[in-house]
Structure 1
Amino acid sequence: MALYWEEVVVDSKDPIALGEWWLEALGWVEVDRGEEELEIAPEVGAHPTVLFGRVDEEKVGKNRLHLDFVPDDQAAEVDRLIALGASRVDIGQRDVPWVVLADPEGNEFCVLAAR
């Protein structure tokens, strides 16, 4: 038996707005849109996708799962994401070579140092 990784689901109070934020942040493409969900991918037909779906409750606490991204220029990418609406987050990471940010709904993600 094999498993195929279809998507990562992100719960959101406003999935359309949050999905559009991630579309711009990542430069990905929109795969599907409904009244209460938005699905994005690196390119048409690529998997896994990221599906933003509506929930009523607010995010509480630190994410148990988060995404890591490797840019060409960490400082420039952090500045760009903050200009788009991300914020720096202190989750107790101390002195590390990555930067922890949060999207507009508070979901943490990391911008790693360039490889």
Structure 2
Amino acid sequence: MIFDLPVFFKQCQVGEGKENGGVDPPSAVDVSWESHLDSALLEQSRKKILQTLNSGSLKELKSLQLIGDKKAKLIMGWREFHGDFTQVEDLKKIEGVTAKRFSSFIKANILSSMGK
């Protein structure tokens, strides 16, 4: 079987997914979930996440939803070099944390904290 190589490689290229940098902006559904929550509870959850980002140990950072060993170490390194995060959105400044990944991170952590 003979392939037309340019066509074959074009079809086999790595997609622009989460790990490859190309992401879609958050959809209206991703943004609107926050509007259904009590604002005080939402703010309290965001403060707790910020506190963990600023002073959490490696183990505490890894206890956050969607934060594994690699991201936890990047957070600790960023913190050491730049100081405390001033807001949770500063997490987007870390390598590999796209707007979409950040949105998923916030949603997962806020909703999981409500289940406790």
**Structure 2 length-normalised TM:** 0.25
Larger radius of gyration: 2
Higher strand share: 1
